[in-house]
Structure formats: structure tokens, C-alpha cells
């Protein structure tokens, strides 16, 4: 089999242009050039580039890509009588993988295909095991096969590297809404903590004591922090959830999140204010550079147009202001599964 000449990238439907702009820029920074013709709202794109495997190996964490892998084959006419054989044939000269994922892109248009892929994974797994193309038991530490179905007769096949695999398959966060939480936004902060802090995020938060939540009402984000034992100052003119206030761990201040300053530095600053992203970012930088908080997680609502450019300008600003500070900072950003037209940023002391 020849070297892959494209990468498959999954993103939030509607963000294909941002996904393409980002991969084009990252590829260029690593000396690779490529192109794609994404279909609007499809939730995926195929980035054609020489040496796709090398680019894949060099990929940093991306903001607008949920998952990426090099494409090994694109099969266009799977016969309904036996779809497994052409797939196994296409993978024949590859070493065995440890898992198989049968995927579809996200969205209503793929609902039927998603049902098909969910069932088809079983016979395909069996067929690949018979051909020694899959280990007898699932092994998460080995590369995995990916079969992305566009419909039941068209599939893109690839092989990932476990180090590049997202926390959840296809980057679709599997988190259940906790019924006691005051708002669905709570899932956004929970996903952010999983992604940016890793699986030990609860323990890491439990080692902290205080937090400030700007734009806190009704309290979905505050609730996550309270649950880990933190004392939270919740800043919002709107009302906070009564049960959350009854915890005794929340001080609700009806003041402006853009001018309020804490009396003592806090361990965590979180911010979900619906405001211009540049203004929110500047305020976060004020907090970090003044030492009013040690860590920050904040959401940036992206405008309708020039979303990529907006993030580029803000990212530059973050680097510019933080590079002048006396300590190193780690900046992570991601369009989370629970983010809509927005991205979430985490800034913590670097090593
Ligand atoms: C998306 S909601 C926050 C939801 C919250 N994170 C949760 O999980 O329940 C945005 C909040 O920001 C607040 N907000 C907007 N501008 C603000 C400002 N200048 N100061 C304080 N709060 C503000 C709004 O009142 C609103 O409650």
C-alpha cells in the first residue's frame, strides 16, 4: 500500500471552513501544503497532502478538529451482498490493529448511516479478526482502524495513533447531564476540565480552594466547582439557583464581571459571559497578569463571520501579553463538543 495522501478531519458541522483554515496553517508551519473541498455543514473534510502520515505524526492539539487520521483507502461501491471483504482486502498488508471504530459524521443527514455503522461494526470486527487484522481482544494501546461511512456503500478507511486519539471516539463527549445541576452549560465546563486537565481533573480541583465565576447565573459552572469542594464567588446580575446557594459554598455578587476584582487571589477563574471575545480575553489577561487567579477557563463566543481570524487575533494577543509575564503559561483551546459557535480556552502555569 502506498503512503496516505490525505487526512480525514472531523469537526462540528458548520465549522468546516475553520477546520480547513487551521489545518492549512498548521500544515504550512510544518512544511506541508494541501487542499480540501469541504461540503458545508458536513462535519468532515479530507485534506489532501503529500506525506499525510508525517503531517499526522507532527499534529499539535487542534482547536477546530475533533479527530484526525490518515486515509488509507476510499471505497466507493461496497456491494450490499458482502461489504466486509473489500474492506478487509484494502487493509490486507497492514499490521493488526487493536480496535475498530465504525463512524459517521455528525448531523441529521447521517442518522440512517449512523444506525447502519452501529450495526455493521460487529460483522466487520469479526471479518478483520479472521484475517488477523485485529487483535483477538480490544487493545487501546495499539493503533485502531477507522471506517467513516458516508453512506452504506461509501467508506473512508484509516488507521490512527493512540497518542492522537481523542478522549471520546470522534471527539463526541459522552457526559450525562447531572439532574441537580442548574443549567446544561455545566456539561461544557465538565468537558473542558476533562480535555484540558485530563482524567484526574477532579483530584486536581480538590487540591484547590477558591474560584471566581464571571457570568455565573444560574450556576451550571459554579455547581461543578462547588461539587469538588471549592468556595466560589459567583458574579452575575441574574439569579443563582437556590439549591446551589444553600450549599453555603457560594457568595453571589451582583456586580459587573468586567470591573470586579477579588479581594484575595483565587485558584481558578472561570468565565462564561456572553460578550465580545476580544473583550473577554483582555479581561482574562488582566486577571492572569495581575496574579488575581492562578488558572483560568473561559469561553469565547465567536462572531458569525471571520471566526478563524478572530481566534487568530486573540491567540496572538494571549501570547503577546503572557510572554511579558514573569512566569511561563500553558495555553490550550478547543471547540468542545458541548460548545456551539464558541471555543473554550484554558490557561495554566506552564512547566
Ligand atoms: C451563558 S450565561 C452563563 C451560564 C452559566 N455559566 C451556567 O453554567 O449556568 C451568561 C451569563 O453572563 C452574565 N453576564 C453577561 N455580562 C455580564 C457582566 N458584564 N457581568 C456579569 N455577568 C454578566 C449574564 O447575566 C448571564 O447570566
Secondary structure of the chain in HEC code, one letter for each residue = CCCCCEEEEECCCCCHHHHHHHHHHHHHHCCCCEECCCCCCCCEEEEEECCHHHHHHHCCCCCCCCEEEEEEEEECCCCCCCCHHHHHHHHCCCCCECEEEEECCCCHHHHHHHHHHHHHHHHHHHHHHHCCCECCCCCCCCCEEEEEEEECCEEEEEECCHHHCCCCHHHCCCCCCCCCCCCCCHHHHHHHHHHHHCCCHHHHHHCCCEEEEECCCCCHHHHHHHHCCCEEEEECCCCCCHHHHHCCCEEEECCCCCCCCCCCCEEEEEECCCCCHHHHHHHHHHHHHHCCEEEEEEEEECCCCCHHHHHHHHHHHHHHHHHCCCCCEEEEEECCCCCCCEEEEEEEECC
With 80 as the cut, is the pLDDT of residue 2 above it? no
Give residue ranges with CB within 6 A of ligand 1.
Answer: 182-183, 185-186, 214-221, 235-238, 256-258, 272-275
pLDDT digits (tens, 9 = 90+) for 142-196: 999 999 999 999 999 999 999 999 999 999 999 999 999 999 999 999 999 999 9
> 270 CA distance to ligand 1 centroid (A)?
11
pLDDT tops 60 at residue 1: no
The CA 237 to ligand 1 mean position distance, Å, reads: 8
Per-residue pLDDT at 168: 97
Catalytic residue, candidates 17, 301, 305, 306: 301
Residue 325: band (very low, low, confident or very high) from pLDDT cuts 50, 70, 90: low
Band of residue 108 on the pLDDT scale cut at 50, 70, 90 = confident
Probe residue for ligand 1, chosen from 211, 214, 236 as the CB with the greatest number of ligand atoms within 8 Å = 236
Mean pLDDT of the chain: 96
How many angstroms does the Cα of residue 274 sit away from the middle of ligand 1?
A: 6
Q: What is the pLDDT of residues 221-278, one digit of tens each?
A: 999 999 999 999 999 999 999 999 999 999 999 999 999 999 999 999 999 999 999 9
For 322-338, what is the mean pLDDT? 91
Each residue of 15-26: pLDDT tens digit? 999 999 999 999
Over the stretch 129-146, which tens digit does the pLDDT of each residue have?
999 999 999 999 999 999
Q: Which CATH architecture has domain 6-171?
A: 2-Layer Sandwich (3.30)
Is 185 annotated in some ligand binding site?
yes
Over residues 315-329, mean pLDDT: 90
Q: Which residue's C-alpha comes closest to atom 14 of ligand 1?
A: 215
Return the pLDDT at 327: 81
Q: Which CATH class is domain 186-349?
A: alpha beta
Catalytic annotation present for 301: yes
Q: For residue 112, what pLDDT band results from cuts at 50, 70 and 90? A: very high
Domain ranges of the chain: 6-171, 186-349
Mean pLDDT to the nearest integer, 96-111? 91
Ligand 1 center to 198 CA (angstroms): 26
Percent of the chain with pLDDT over 70: 99
For residue range 201-235, list pLDDT tens digits in order: 999 999 999 999 999 999 999 999 999 999 999 99
Please choose from 252, 258, 272 the residue to mutate so as to test ligand 1's pocket, defined by most ligand atoms within 8 A of CB: 272
Domain 6-171 shares a fold with domain 186-349: no
pLDDT reported for residue 326: 72
Amino acid at each position: 500500500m502506498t503512503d496516505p495522501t490525505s487526512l480525514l478531519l472531523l469537526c462540528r458541522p458548520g465549522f468546516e471552513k475553520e477546520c480547513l483554515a487551521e489545518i492549512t496553517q498548521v500544515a504550512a508551519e510544518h512544511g506541508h501544503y494541501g487542499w480540501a473541498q469541504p461540503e458545508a455543514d458536513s462535519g468532515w473534510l479530507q485534506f489532501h497532502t503529500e506525506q499525510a502520515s508525517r503531517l499526522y505524526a507532527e499534529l499539535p492539539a487542534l482547536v477546530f478538529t475533533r479527530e484526525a487520521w490518515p486515509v488509507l483507502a476510499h471505497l466507493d461501491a461496497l456491494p450490499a451482498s458482502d461489504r466486509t471483504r473489500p474492506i478487509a482486502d484494502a487493509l490486507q498488508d497492514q499490521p493488526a490493529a487493536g480496535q475498530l471504530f465504525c463512524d459517521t459524521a455528525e448531523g441529521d443527514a447521517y442518522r440512517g448511516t449512523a444506525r447502519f455503522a452501529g450495526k455493521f461494526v460487529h460483522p466487520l470486527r469479526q471479518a478483520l479478526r479472521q484475517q488477523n487484522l485485529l487483535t483477538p481482544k480490544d487493545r487501546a494501546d495499539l493503533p485502531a482502524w477507522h471506517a467513516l461511512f458516508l453512506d452504506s456503500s461509501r467508506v473512508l478507511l484509516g488507521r490512527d495513533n493512540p497518542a492522537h486519539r481523542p478522549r471520546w471516539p470522534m471527539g463526541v463527549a459522552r457526559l450525562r447531564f447531572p439532574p441537580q445541576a442548574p443549567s446544561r452549560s455545566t456539561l461544557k465546563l465538565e468537558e473542558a476540565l476533562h480535555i484540558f486537565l485530563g482524567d484526574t481533573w477532579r483530584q486536581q480541583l480538590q487540591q484547590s480552594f477558591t474560584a471566581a465565576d464571571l457570568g455565573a447565573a444560574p450556576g451550571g459552572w459554579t455547581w461543578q466547582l462547588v461539587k469538588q469542594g471549592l468556595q466560589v464567588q459567583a458574579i452575575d446580575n441574574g439569579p443563582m439557583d437556590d439549591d446551589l446557594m444553600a450549599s453555603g459554598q457560594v457568595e453571589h455578587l451582583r456586580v459587573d464581571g468586567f470591573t470586579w476584582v477579588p479581594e484575595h487571589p483565587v485558584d481558578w477563574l472561570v468565565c462564561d459571559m456572553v460578550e465580545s471575545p476580544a473583550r473577554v480575553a483582555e479581561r482574562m489577561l488582566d486577571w492572569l497578569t495581575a496574579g488575581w487567579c492562578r488558572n483560568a477557563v473561559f469561553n469565547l463566543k465567536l462572531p458569525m463571520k471571520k471566526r478563524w481570524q478572530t481566534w487568530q487575533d486573540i491567540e496572538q494577543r494571549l501570547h503577546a501579553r503572557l510572554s511579558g509575564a514573569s512566569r511561563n503559561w500553558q495555553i490550550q483551546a478547543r471547540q468542545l463538543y458541548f460548545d456551539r459557535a464558541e471555543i473554550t480556552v484554558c490557561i495554566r502555569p506552564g512547566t
